[in-house]
Amino acid sequence: MSHPLSGVFAPVVTPFKADLGVDAELFVQHCRWLLGQGAGLAIFGTNSEANSLSVAERRQLLTLLVEEGIDPARMLPGTGCCAIDDTVALTRHAVEAGCAGVLMLPPFYYKGVSDDGLYRYYAEVIERVGSPRLKLYLYHIPAFTGVPITLGLIDRLVRDFPDTVVGIKDSSGDWDNLSAMLAAFPGFAIFPASESLLSRARPLGAAGCISATANVNPAGIGRLCAAWDQPGAAQLQEQADAVRKTFQKYPMIAALKFATAHYSGNPAWSTVRPPLGALGAQQQGELLAELERIGFAMPGLAH
Amino acid sequence: MSHPLSGVFAPVVTPFKADLGVDAELFVQHCRWLLGQGAGLAIFGTNSEANSLSVAERRQLLTLLVEEGIDPARMLPGTGCCAIDDTVALTRHAVEAGCAGVLMLPPFYYKGVSDDGLYRYYAEVIERVGSPRLKLYLYHIPAFTGVPITLGLIDRLVRDFPDTVVGIKDSSGDWDNLSAMLAAFPGFAIFPASESLLSRARPLGAAGCISATANVNPAGIGRLCAAWDQPGAAQLQEQADAVRKTFQKYPMIAALKFATAHYSGNPAWSTVRPPLGALGAQQQGELLAELERIGFAMPGLAH
C-alpha cells in the first residue's frame, strides 16, 4: 500500500460575493497563499462549505485552479455527495484534472446505514470511475454525517481496493478512534482533523493533518508537523494550540473567514452561505482581541 | 392563509434498474397506480431515495410525469438540498411545471445551525424563485437531517411569506410537537408522516398525512383520512395501523420496494441505491408471511 500524501492540508475556505456567488478570483488567490505557506489544498471540505456549493460550482472552481497553473498534485478535493452519480462526476473530474487524491464523505442523508451499504456505495463509485489514478481518502466526520466510517469498513475497502483506498481524514476528535486506526492500518495515510493531535499522532504514524485552522495558520502547523520529533516541538505544539483554541471558541467557518477578511483587508471574505451565519460584532471584537493577545498574524496575505 | 393541499400523499418510491439507473417507465406506472388509489404524489421524498438522485435525475423525472399527462396539481415534489443553488433550481422547475407545492428539507449537512440561518436559507430560496405560484411546505425530519424546523422558525416564515409558506410535513413522530404545531398555526397545512396519528390529529386540524406506507396502502389510508369523524373510523385506523406496524419492523424503503416487487410480480422493484440495502431472504419471507396473515393486498397493481 502506498502512502502518497503527507503533511498539512487546509480545507480551503470558499470566498463568496455579496450576492453569495463564488468569488473565483479571490479563491485562486487564497489557494496561492496557502501553497506559499506550505499547505496542501483540501478544497471542497466541510470548512469550504462544499455542501453549500452545487456540483457545477465545484467542477468550475477546480478547473479554474488548474487553468491558473496551480499544481493538482497539491490538491485533495472533497467529492463525496449523497447521490452516487454526483460523487462519480466530481471524482472523475478530479482524477482527470490530475488531483493527488479525493477526500470522500460517505452518503450522509440516510442514518443507521450498514457497513455493507457503505461498502457498496464506495465500491460502486470506485468501479464507475474505473481509474488506477484514483487515490481515495475516506472522510470520517460523524458529528456532521451521522454516518461513521468504522474500522471494519476501512479494512474491507483496503483489502479489496488496496491501490485506491489509501487514507482517511479522521474528524471524530476521538483519540481512541484515531489511535486504533493508526495501530490497525500501518502505511495507511491517516490525517487527524486537528493539529492539536500531531505530537501524539505523528509518532504513531499519522501522515499529517487536514485542519480547519490550516486556513489561517498554515506555516505554524506545517513547522509542527515536520518537526514533531525535533527539539522545540513542544513549543511549536503550544503555539499552534493557542491559535486553534482561540478559533474553536467561535463558529469555526465564520471565524476563519472573519480573520481572513480582517488580515487581508478584504471585508468580503466574511460572507458565508446560509444556513451558516457570519460572526456578530461582539464576537468579531473578542476574536480579534484574543488573536492580538497571542500575537497571531497571517503573513503575506494579500491586501 | 390558504390551505391548499389535504388528504393522503405518498412519498413515491423510485424504481431502479439492475444498473441502478432510474426505471422511468415503471415510475410513471407507479404514480398512475397511486393516483388511481386516491393518493397524491409526494415524489422525491425520503422514501423516494431522493437524496440518492442527482438534481438532473429529479428534473427529468418530473418533466416526464407531466409529459405523460400526470396532473401536476397532484404533485408535491421534494426540492430541498444542501446547496441553495440546487434547491432553487429544483423549486423553480417544480413551479414552472405547475406542481401544487414543494416539500422542502432544510439544508442538512451542517448541524447546530441557528433558526436565523435557516430563515435566511428559506428566504433566499423564496426570493430567488420569486413566484407567487410557489407554495412551500417545510419538512421537519430531525432524525435524518439533524436540523429541526422549530415553531419559532415556522412563525417567522409564515409571518414574512404568508402566501408562500403554507404547510409542513412533520416526520418527528413526536405527538407533542405535532399537537403544538396544530395549536399554534390554525389553517397551516400540517401533515404528520404517519397515518397512525390521523385519528388524533385530524380533529385538531391536520390536513392529512404524507406517509411511507401510502406507497403500499394508499386506499386504506385514504378512507381513514376522509372518514376520521364517521362511524367505523376506529376500525379503519386499526386496519391501517396493522399494515404500518408490519412494515415498520423492517428497513422501511427496502420493505416497501420488496412488497411492491412481490405484489406487482416485478422483482426489479426490490432494487435500492447504496448506501441502502435490499431485504435479505429471511426478512422477505417474514414480511410476506405477516402481510398474508393480515390480509394485505395491493389491488390493481400492474403485473
Q: Span B54-60, mean pLDDT?
A: 98
Catalytic residues of A: 139, 169
Report ipTM (2 d.p.).
0.96
- CA angle in degrees (0–180, nearest 5) for B245-B248-B254: 135
CA distance, residue B68 to nearest chain A CA (Å): 25
Question: CB of B1 within 8 Å of any CB in chain A?
Answer: no
DSSP state of B229: T
Q: Hey, what long-range contacts does A108-112 have (CB within 8 A, 24 or more apart)?
A: A108/A80, A108/A82, A108/A144, A108/A145, A108/A146, A108/A147, A108/B108, A108/B109, A109/A82, A109/B46, A109/B51, A109/B52, A109/B108, A109/B144, A110/A147, A110/B51, A110/B144, A110/B275, A110/B276, A111/A146, A111/A147, A111/B143, A111/B144
Q: Span A277-295, mean pLDDT?
A: 97
Residue B108: closest C-alpha in chain A: A109
pLDDT in tens, B205-227: 999 999 999 999 999 999 999 99
Tell me: pLDDT of A147 over 70: yes
A82, A117, A276 ranked by CB distance to B51: nearest: A82
Q: How far is CA B244 from CA A166, B216, B218, B237, B248, in A?
A: 44, 10, 11, 10, 6
What's the distance, CA A54 to chain centroid?
Answer: 18
Q: Where are the domains of chain A?
A: 7-226
Tell me: pLDDT of A2 over 50: no
Q: Does domain B7-226 have CATH number 3.20.20.70?
A: yes
Cβ of B52 and A275 within 8 Å? Answer: no
Tell me: pLDDT of B1 over 50: no
CA distance, residue A260 to nearest chain B CA (Å): 21
Between A and B, how many residue pairs show a Cβ–Cβ distance under 8 A?
A: 112
When mean pLDDT is compared across B81-85, B144-148, B298-302, the lowest value belongs to B298-302
Question: CB of B277 within 8 Å of any CB in chain A?
Answer: yes
Question: CB of A283 within 8 Å of any CB in chain B?
Answer: no
Percentage of chain A surpassing pLDDT 90? 98
Residue B107: closest C-alpha in chain A: A275
Cβ of A113 and B275 within 8 Å? Answer: yes
Amino acid at the residue B125: V
pLDDT in tens, A200-249: 999 999 999 999 999 999 999 999 999 999 999 999 999 999 999 999 99
Amino acid at the residue A4: P
- DSSP secondary structure, chain A, as one string: ------EEEE-PPPPB-TTS-B-HHHHHHHHHHHHHTT-EE--SSGGGTGGGS-HHHHHHHHHHHHHTT--GGGB--B---SSHHHHHHHHHHHHHTT-S-EEEPPP-SS-S--HHHHHHHHHHHHHHH--TT--EEEEE-HHHHS----HHHHHHHHHH-TTTEEEEEE-S--HHHHHHHHHH-TTSEEEES-GGGHHHHGGGT--EEE-GGGGT-HHHHHHHHHSTTSTTHHHHHHHHHHHHHHHHTS-HHHHHHHHHHHHHT-GGGG---TTS-PPPHHHHHHHHHHHHHTT---TT---
pLDDT in tens, A57-107: 999 999 999 999 999 999 999 999 999 999 999 999 999 999 999 999 999
Q: How far is CA A284 from CA A301, B118, B288, in A?
A: 19, 22, 61
Kindly report the average pLDDT of chain B as a whole number.
97
The confidence band for B2, taking pLDDT boundaries of 50, 70 and 90, is very low
Q: Span B187-215, mean pLDDT?
A: 97
pLDDT in tens, B111-130: 999 999 999 999 999 999 99
Cβ of A83 and B54 within 8 Å? Answer: yes
Q: Using an 8 Å Cβ cutoff, are A47 and A256 in contact? A: yes
B57, B85, B111 ranked by CB distance to A143: nearest: B111
Cβ of B83 and A53 within 8 Å? Answer: yes
Q: Span B221-236, mean pLDDT?
A: 97
The confidence band for B4, taking pLDDT boundaries of 50, 70 and 90, is confident
Q: Which of B40, B34, B38 is nearest to B15 (CA)?
A: B34
Chain B residues touching residue A273 (CB < 8 angstroms): 84
Q: Span A162-188, mean pLDDT?
A: 97
Cβ of B275 and A121 within 8 Å? Answer: yes
- Residues in CB range of A292: below 8 A, 6 or more apart: none
Residue A302: predicted pLDDT: 72
- CB-CB neighbours of B220 under 10 Å: 23
pLDDT in tens, B237-280: 999 999 999 999 999 999 999 999 999 999 999 999 999 999 99
Chain A residues touching residue B106 (CB < 8 angstroms): 275
Q: Is B168 part of any known ligand binding site?
A: no
Which three cell numbers mark B78? Answer: 421534494
Q: Using an 8 Å Cβ cutoff, are B301 and B263 in contact? A: yes
Element containing residue B168 per DSSP (H, E): strand B165-170
Residue among B20, B60, B91, B109 with most chain A CBs within 10 A, to mutate: B109
Q: Using an 8 Å Cβ cutoff, are A220 and A242 in contact? A: no
Residue B253: closest C-alpha in chain A: A110
Residue B271: predicted pLDDT: 98
B121 is catalytic: no
Q: Span A281-301, mean pLDDT?
A: 97
Q: In 3-state terms, what secondary structure has residue B78?
A: strand
